[in-house]
Amino acid sequence: MPGTTRLAELFAGVEESAGLIGVACSRDKVWPLLEAYEDALPEAIIAFRVATNAHHEGEFDCRFTLPRSIDPYLRARAHGFLTETGRPMESLLSDIQRTCPIDSYGIDFGIVGGFRKLWVYFPGGVSQSLAVLRDLPSMPAGLAENFAFFADRGLAEKVDVVAIDYRSGTVNLYFTGFPEELRRPAEVLAMHRAMGMPDPSEQMLAFCEKSFGFYATLSWDSPRIERIAFSVKTQDPLSLPARFGPKIEHFLTNMAYGRNDPKMVYAAMTASGEEYYKLQTYYRFRTRSRLDLMPSIDHADAAA
């Protein structure tokens, strides 16, 4: 498929999908981002994400994977999506590249806010040591401050993905294959309290019991854990104990892409006490990818 045709079809998919939640898609903002990474798109996993919190109101995110041969940060800089300011976050990817084996990358952008974050995926089955990440010069000090929180729960060798959010100035550490007991309501409650966060709702506790992993958010401005989110993979998000609201329910009911593909749902709690849900669907899902290795709940389990 010629490049221009490929980009036009993807842009149309983004525009149509964003319109389901009432977000207008500007060609002037979105096309340059697609064009900058055009060479990766034929083989990329492409996903759309919406969220229920106030911060994401009026936004629609698009994300896709990149091969290891494409440095997502350098390309974003080259195309003017990011500008160097001397902040530590701007060195984190290069620190990871010098220290850790990398399988692939990903980027995320909002169709309103523009380039947002990048992901670093470690090789499948080779989780990264939290101690190695803690000792990187540009890693937020909050990881060292909270190292025992993760290590005491058997997570010190289970980091699967790192995401660097340049817009919010945060980094996410994704843990998979975590012990089953961490999903139990009493332990989820204890984790929130240990972080000084409000107690999650009964609905969120029920959601967490079905999760396969979670991620924690750190920033360079505070030693605390800023957010924790539990993840579920399912074919039927509406059967989960989650509050999506009418816009996202309308999106799920009417979306034109990925209807038969699995969906990712996240239940998040911030340090400020905001509890919300994020939904990720796929414009293009790839079987035999690392996403396929993540356990999915069936409809009966989701409704239980």
d(C-alpha 236, C-alpha 247), whole Å: 16
User: At residue 287, does pLDDT exceed 70?
Assistant: no
- Domain ranges across the chain: 3-303
Greatest alpha-carbon pair distance for the chain in Å reads 54
Mean pLDDT across 275-294: 81
Provide, for the chain, the percentages of residues in helix, strand and coil under a 3-state DSSP scheme, each rounded to the nearest 5: 35, 25, 40
Write phi, then psi, for 215 (nearest 5 degrees).
-135, 155
With vertex at residue 232, the alpha carbon angle to CA 258 and CA 216, rounded to the nearest 5 degrees, is: 120
Sign of the torsion formed by the C-alpha atoms of 253, 112, 171 and 78: positive
Q: Which residues contact 229 (CB under 8 A, 6 or more apart)?
A: 214, 215, 217, 266, 267, 268, 269, 278
- Report the candidate in 35, 102, 73, 109 with the shortest Cα–Cα distance to residue 290: 102
Residue 243's identity, in one-letter code, is R
Higher pLDDT, 126 or 151: 151
Query: 232-253, pLDDT tens digit by residue?
Result: 999 999 999 998 999 999 999 9
Question: Does the global pTM surpass 0.85?
Answer: yes
Residue 230 in tokens: 């539990």
- The number of angstroms, rounded, from the C-alpha of 13 to the middle of its chain's C-alpha atoms is 20
pLDDT band at residue 302, thresholds of 50, 70 and 90?
Answer: very low
